[in-house]
Every structure is written in structure tokens, then in C-alpha cells.
Structure 1
Amino acid sequence: MKHNGSTPAIAMVTGAASGIGAAATAMLRSRGHRVVACDRDTRITDDPDGVVLDVTDAGAVERAVADAERRVGPIGVLVNAAGILRAGPLNQTSDADFAAMFAVNTTGVFAVTRSVTTRMRQRRAGSVVTVASNAGGVPRHGIGGYAASKAASAHLTKCFGLELAEHGIRCNVVSPGSTDTPMFRSLWPGDGDAAVADAVTGQPERFRLGIPLGRVADPDDIARVVCFLASAEAAHLTMQELFVDGGASLR
């Protein structure tokens, strides 16, 4: 989307320090956007527009958004890319891990989207893209809490989209499959290459299909779709969910 019909809109990206969030930040900047890069990792302050932010703290979110708009300008694009994963069978998932995943992956999306779109409504323009997961659309063994939190964040974003459409705000979802990020490799400590091979071939004993296109995604594969949905090229798309997983979910 364009701000004031000329320069690319100012963007805010959560989870911007690594993985898909970092790739989206870099790609948006390469396309002319100024990006407020947010992450709870304090290394984000190395970025000239970096903001340390815990998306589970609604008060901190509101302060960060208000400060960004005062300091940088009106936010026209929001990318919700912050996320955490605590693997394990549901019967062995602790209350704390389950709550933490929902706090970041779902409630965090709610807090940031509410704060940013409250301001977008006044301007009657804006684009929100939430990075969810194909696990939110297809049951997964061993990551059930994560899958549920991502399914909730995807549906939440679509509900925002329905309520905000009359105000000119589009809200869409990108649901990646296996993507070569630090989060992905953390599931197989010390053997990330084996993790990549395993994701490509699948695990029939756990009812997990492989990837028809034959490779794990690079973060840039996902970032390109994020940038498309944020742009004027997707001007008539809202409440849509794109599964970017090399065909793994057979959608």
C-alpha cells in the first residue's frame, strides 16, 4: 500500500530480530518502507528503528505504538511475526508452556493489532499481515499447543478483517510450513540438517506428509508473500489465508 499516494507506508514488524520477522523487515525496507522493528530480544536496539517490545504486555504495546507514530509517523502496515513454540505431546505440555504460547502467538497478535488498527481506522487505510502456521490448519503431532495458538491467531486476524473492512483496512494471514529458521532448527538440537531432510520426506508414523516441492522454505519465501499481501497489488484481498508450505498441507 502507499501512504499519501506516493511513498511506501511506514511498517511495524513484531518478531523482527530473527527468522521470518527479520526477513520481512529486510524485504519491506528493500521496497522502500521505513520499518519499526520490534522484538523482545534486546539486540533489536542495534537496528536504528529497533524497539524492545514484549507483545504479551498490552500496556507496553500501546506505549510502543504511540511512540512509533510520534517519532516515525503513521503506521500503514503491520506484520505480526512474533511467535514461540514449545514442543511436546499435549498430555505432557505444562500449563505454563501452553499459556506462554497463547500469550505470544494469539494474545500478542490481539494486543498489537488492536493498538495499530485503532489508529489506522482514523486514517481509513492500512494492511495487517499475521504470520500463523500451516499447523493451524492441519493437526500436528507433538506441537498441539502451538498449532492451536496459531489457528486462533489466524481466525482472530480474519475477524479483525471483517470488522475493519468498512474502514479501508485489510487483514490477511500467511501460514508457512517448515521454514529454515532458528525456531525450526531448535526442534532438533545439534542436527538441523537432519531436521530439514525429515521435514521434506515427512513422517508417516506421525501422520505428517512431506513437502511436494521437495525443500524446506527459506524465510525470504515467506517474506515475499507477506510483502505481497501488504502491498497495493493485494488491494482487493482481505480475510484470506495463504498456505506457503510447498504443498505440504495439500491445499
Structure 2
Amino acid sequence: MNPATEGPVALVSGAAGGIGAAVARVLAEHGSTVVAVDRDEQQLATVVGKLTADGLPVHARPVDVTSREAVEALVEDIEEHTGPIAQLVNGAGVLGLGAARGLSDETWHTTLAVNATGVFLLSTAVVNRMVPRGRGALVTVASNAAGTARTEMAAYAASKAAATAFTRCLGLEVARHGIRCNVVAPGSTDTPMLHGMHPPGAAASAAVAGNPDAYRTGIPLGKVATPLDIAHAVRFLLSDEAGHITLETLTVDGGATLGAV
């Protein structure tokens, strides 16, 4: 362990942008030493460069979370050289759009690999090391689409449902070891992923308005979430303030799913 490390060590995947980058910032601002993970090495370096320039303890580690070998090597290295991982955030995610009947094999497999298998690999690698210590907290960033049908989003919704179910089952098994596992389910959030679903400049207004033809309600609060909205929810569930909360899903969608998720 690095004796200079202060505060709990947090591993955050998908940290190169959007929600993951916001989570890395918020956790670091609240005292965690953050290991920021993403497969986009260039963008990750840019994000982490900004965070360290602000004096925050964040370290970049480019890793493909779909590779068991890479994940195990990453976690082992963090445990040896940075410190015991106390917080894990599964934030890595991809969005493959397409009608369920027309999805390509590649879209299906890639979406499940990152959004579900990545959660499985990172969670087990980290939690297996938390168990002997008898403490730790994990949050998986899923989606309100995991529990609400969405047109053109079958692969994404299925992958997030799988990640949600896995996280809760894992949490049930390791609760006796003092480890908490929860889910944050964002709705439409002001990220590149959302903007990629709509014409330029139209993402926020389209999400707020909804689309009856696609069976989508709008957002009752009248705005999309910011990445910080999601990051603060994640930080809460990792914190001692949520010390008696596990196996739960906290939906952060401005009411878009009408409280049904």
C-alpha cells in the first residue's frame, strides 16, 4: 500500500466522460483517492488531467473491463500499490440502438459485454478482496430502461437489467460480510450518450417533451439530469450516510418512469 494514500480508495469505471467523470470528481472532492478506469486512453488522460490540475487525487488507468485478465491485473495492482479498494462504481457503458428484431449480433454482444459482463468481472474481482476485510460498498450505474420497456433500446435495456439483477444478487450474498451493493438508475442525462440519440441541439427538449409514438412519457421535473445529479446519488450510496442501505435501486430520472422503477 502507498503510505501517502489518504481516504478510501475508489475504483470508478467509465470515467473518461459523462457520468463516470462526474463520479470521479465528486468522490475525490469528498476525500476518496480515485482510480479512474476507461478503455478510451486519450479521453481518460484529458479528464484526469483536469481533475489533478484541480488538486484532486485521481489516477488514470486505461483498461478494457470486458477482459478478465485485464480486470484482475488492474485490481491486484491497485490493492498492492494504491491501497485496499473500499468503493467500486461500475460506470462503464455503451449504447447500441436498434429495433429488437433487427439487432446485429455485434450490437447485442458488445452491449452485453460492456454493460453486464464488465459489471460481473469488476464486481467479483473487487468484492472477493473486500470480503476478508469485512467492509466495502459498490454502486452499479444502470438505467431506468432496465425496468421500463423502450423502443429501439432492447440490447441496452437487457444489459442494464442484467447488471441490476447481478448487483442485487451479489449484494444479498455478501451482506453478511458487511459489504453493501446498490444501483443508481439514471434517466435522460446531459451526456454525449444522450446527445447521440437526437439531432444536434435537440436532445434535452426531446427528452423533456417525451414521445407518445414511442410510448415515452416526458420528464415531470421539466429538465434532464446533469452528470453531477447522478454522481451525488452514487456518492450518497457509497457513504456511511447510507450505511444501512443495500440491494436497493435509486432511480434518478426526474419522474420520467412515474416512480415505477
* TM-score relative to the length of structure 2: 0.91
Query: CA–CA distance in 2 between the matches of 1:54 and 1:213?
Result: 36
Alignment partners' CA distance in 2, 1:120 and 1:208: 40
Partner of 1:3: none
* Alignment deviations for residues 24-80 of structure 1 (CA, whole Å, 9 cap, x no partner): 000000101100000001122453610011010011000000001111100000000
Mapped pair 1:200 → 2:208: yes
Residue 150 of structure 1: how far off its partner (Å) = 0.3
Partner of 1:247: 255
C-alpha deviation, 1:237, in angstroms: 0.2
* Residue in 1 that maps onto 2:115: 105
- Name which of 176, 179, 192 aligns with 1:182: 192
What residue number does 2:35 align with? Answer: 36
SS in 2 for 1:108: helix
1:138 to 148, 158, 171: 148
Which runs of structure 2 are paired with 1:113-192 in the superposition (5 Å)?
Answer: 113-189=123-199, 191=200
What SS is found at the alignment partner of 2:202? helix
From 73, 92, 98, the equivalent of 2:83 is 73
Task: Give the counterpart letter for 2:88 in structure 1.
Answer: L
Superposed CA RMSD: 1.0
What amino acid is aligned across from residue 230 of structure 1 in structure 2?
A: L
Are residue 13 (structure 1) and residue 21 (structure 2) matched?
Answer: no
Residue of structure 2 equivalent to 1:89: 99
Q: Distance in 2 between matches of 1:204 and 1:188?
A: 16
Aligned mates of 1:68, 1:51 — CA distance in 2: 10
Name the residue aligned to 1:223.
231
- For the residues of structure 2 that align with 1:207 and 1:182, how far apart are their CA atoms? 23
Separation in 2, partners of 1:25, 1:11 = 8
Task: Give the share of equivalent positions with the same residue, in percent.
Answer: 51
Distance 2:228 2:190 in 1: 10
- Deviations along 1:136-191, one digit per CA (max 9) or x if unpaired, are 010001111100100110010000100000010000000000001011111125x1
Mapped to 2, the partners of 1:195 and 1:206 lie a distance apart of: 15
In the TM superposition, what whole-angstrom CA distance separates every residue of 1:195-223 from its partner, at most 9, and x where no partner exists?
21010010011110000000000000000
Unaligned regions of 5+ residues in structure 1, if any?
Answer: 1-6
Hey, what's the Cα distance between the residues in 1 that align with 2:141 and 2:89? 7
What amino acid maps onto 2:186 in structure 1?
P
- Aligned equivalent of 1:4: none
3-state SS, counterpart of residue 174 of structure 1:
strand
Cα distance, 1:92 vs. partner? 1.5
1:230 Cα deviation from its structure 2 partner: 0.3
Instruction: Quote the Cα distance in structure 2 between the aligned partners of 1:8 and 1:231.
Output: 12
Equivalents in 2 of 1:14, 1:135: separation in Å? 20
